[in-house]
Amino acid sequence: MTQQDTATHYSIDDMKALIETMQIYKKDNSGKGITRIAYGEEDEAAHLYLASLMKEAGLEVYRDGIGTLYARLPGQDRSLPAVGTGSHLDTVPQGGAYDGALGVIAGFYALMQYKPQQLKRDLELVVFRAEESSRFGFSCIGSKVLTGKIDKERWEQNRDDDGNNFFEVLKSLGYQHDNFDDCLITKDRFSAFVELHIEQGKRLENDKKTIGIVNGIAAPTRFSVTVNGHADHSGATPMYQRQDALVASAEIITDINRAACTEAVYGTVGTVGKLNVTPNSMNVIPGQVKFSVDIRGIDTESIQRVVQRLNNSVEKAEKDFGVAIDVQPISAESPVKLDDSICQVIESLCQKHDISYMTMLSGAGHDSMNIAPLYPTAMIFTPSVAGISHHPDEFTEFSDIAVAADLLAETLGTLANQ
């Protein structure tokens, strides 16, 4: 596909330059990857820069009460629901430059391929806040606020590394923090929504496909686990007298991994990615361990079997190691089916332009999970080199990015003229 000749003022080279520019907005204390934590200084600066750039480009730009960024290209009939696209700018610590940000930048590029009033409907880009769970322990917070899926009690309880919850961070930055009604998006806002994202896996690369057409998204079930043992001198305490919280935790973590491996045939995965040990000293038996559990998949029954294995393992560890264990649920989301009709539009365009593609599911969660219950929604994946994501080595070839961005632009235009 080639760029449409209706908007030569924003080229594929401009998009490439913006991808590079956005990499400047990172916490530069380690030199590794991109650290742009939700609502951190770098995240705020990136949103403000992009808002200024899109306004300068002639789009209608505004930010809502939690800082969600909207940019709209007017269509011919402004009474009709718009066609939306978008993703997020925040990253995990020492993450990559493409996760989330590519969907935003390609979305901006897609809107700029059309002139105002060229299409029947408006096009709108949404830049969601706090998609990553790294800071607050909950994913897709921004899109949940927009769609009325607020879990106030749990969001108040979970705190970031500085001891602040989501609401306190909003307040400190001057955002709306006690009533989100003005942030809700109406059911007639969009007629369709398409999110572009890197795959974060190896299927496209392994199958030598340029595009993934995503028709379903796996959902996470998450827990916070606290194991309370007894801290003692590592040299003076015999092995049979120990209440080692870390050894007990290791047994549970290993069991979760085994359970997920058993369920892998259903696409289920289990991960323990964060672990805090107290007192964390070489010569002291660990007295307390806190760790997080992330179980996700597309088969609800399979997910529940891994959850049951976790519960059984906790009960056994308490008996075997003399520890007390508290398991607190963080979230339990449902897998999401995406819209077949939009997937068919994307597929027909791939066939039209002889783009290699495959239909697939997303193992990672995305803001589209919260958008899909309100509007017909689909996703476009572009390959991740070696399947690497959430890592400094995350990379997507620009030739693949260009194909995906042009495909997104034509998909949005096709849907906007329906």
41-56 vs 101-111: helix crossing angle, rounded to 10: 10
State the residue for tokens 């769609």: 147
Question: Is 177 known as a binding-site position?
Answer: no
Question: Is 233 known as a binding-site position?
Answer: no
| Biggest CA-to-CA distance, the chain | 79
Question: Is 283 known as a binding-site position?
Answer: yes
Pairing between strand 336-337 and 69-73? unpaired
Rounded to an integer, what distance in angstroms lies between the CA atom of residue 211 and that of residue 346? Answer: 10
Question: Is 366 known as a binding-site position?
Answer: no
Question: Is 410 known as a binding-site position?
Answer: no
First to last CA, the chain: 21
55, 73 in Cβ contact below 8 A? no
Sign of the torsion formed by the C-alpha atoms of 273, 295, 361 and 121: negative
Nearest alpha carbon to residue 103 among 64, 50, 56, 66: 50
Question: Is 390 known as a binding-site position?
Answer: yes
Q: Where are the alpha helices (DSSP H) in 192-241?
A: 203-206
34, 23 in Cβ contact below 8 A? yes
| Counts of helices then strands in the chain (DSSP H, E) | 12, 14
Summarize the annotated binding site for allantoate as residue ranges.
222, 283, 296
Residues marked as binding? Answer: 88, 99, 132, 197, 222, 283, 296, 390
Q: Which residues are annotated as a binding site for Zn(2+)?
A: 88, 99, 132, 197, 390
